[in-house]
Amino acid sequence: MLGTIVNTLTIVAGSVVGHFAKKGIKEKYRKVLFTAMGLAALVLGFSTVSSNLPKSEYPVLFIVSLALGGIVGTMLDIAGRFDRLVARFSSSYLSQGLATGILLYCIGALSIVGPVMSALYGDNTFLFTNATLDLVTSAVLATTYGVGMVIAAPVLFLWQGSIYLVTSIAGNIIPDALVTEISVTGGVLIASSGLGILEIKDCKTMNLLPSLLVPVLFFLLKYLWFSFIG
C-alpha cells in the first residue's frame, strides 16, 4: 500500500500548492490554464483510446459500455446529485474539476496495474511514476478549481486500495484484456470531460461513470460462462 499512500499524498500536496499559486495568478492567466486543462484532457483521452483500442479483443465493447452506463447514470442522475453536493461547499466549477481530476488520476494503466504489481510483487514503480504525474496534474488543476481538488485524493485511495485488496486476496485475477477495455472506455470519459471544460459540449461525464463497470461485468460473466461449460 506504500505506493498508493504516496500517490494519494502527492495529490493532496499538489492541490495545496496549486491553491496558493492561484492567488498570485491574474484572471486572464487562469482562463488560459482553464483552456489548457480542457485541451490536455482531450489529448490524454484520445491518446488513451488510440493506444488501447488496437489491442482490444472486443472493439465494440466500449460502445456498449457507454450506452448502458450512460442510461444507468442518467437514471440515477449521478451528475446532478454530484453537482448539488459540491455546490453546498464550493462553486459549481469545482464539480467539473473533480470529475476531470478523478478520471485523470484513476483511469489509466499506471493507476490500475500499479496496485496489482504492488500487491503481487511489492513493486511500487508504476505507482511512484503515477504519483509524479499526479503531483503536476493536481497542482495545475488546483490553480483553476481551487483547493477543493484535494477531495479527489481519498477517491484515488479507495480506487487503488480496492484493487490492491482484491489482488492480495484473490491473486492476479485482473487480465490485461480487462485493463485494455477499461482504459478505452475511460479514455472516452476523459475526452468527454475535456469537451465540458472547453464549453464545447456538456456530456454529463459523471452520468457515464457506470460505463467503467460494464467491462468488469462482461469479463466476470465470460469467466463464469466458461467455468460452467468447462
**Of 176, 160, 177, 179, nearest to 168 (Cα)?**
160
pLDDT of residue 13: 95
Write down the pLDDT at residue 190: 84
Judge whether 74 lies within some domain.
no
Does any domain span residue 182? yes
What residue numbers bound the domain in which 180 lies?
2-56+91-202
The count of other CB atoms within 10 Å of the CB of residue 128 is 17
Residue 100 lies in a domain: yes
Walk along the chain (230 residues) and give the pLDDT tens digit of each residue: 889 999 999 999 999 988 888 777 777 777 787 788 788 888 888 988 998 899 999 999 999 999 999 999 999 998 888 777 766 766 557 877 888 888 888 876 678 878 887 887 888 988 998 898 888 888 888 888 888 889 999 999 999 999 898 888 876 667 888 888 988 988 898 888 888 878 898 888 889 889 988 998 999 898 888 777 76
Amino acid letter for position 228: F
* Total-model pTM: 0.76
User: Diameter of the chain by CA atoms?
Assistant: 65
Question: What does the alpha-carbon distance between residue 106 and residue 87 come to, in Å, rounded to a whole number?
Answer: 23
Q: Please report whether residue 229 resides in a domain.
A: no
Residue 228, domain member (yes or no): no
Give pLDDT, residue 128. Answer: 92
Tell me whether residue 77 is in a domain. no
**Cβ pair 112, 92 in contact under 8 A:** no
Task: Give the whole-angstrom CA distance, residue 134 versus residue 101.
Answer: 9
The number of distinct structural domains making up the chain is 1
The CA-atom distances, in angstroms, between 59 and each of 42, 76, 86, 100, 209 are 21, 27, 35, 25, 19
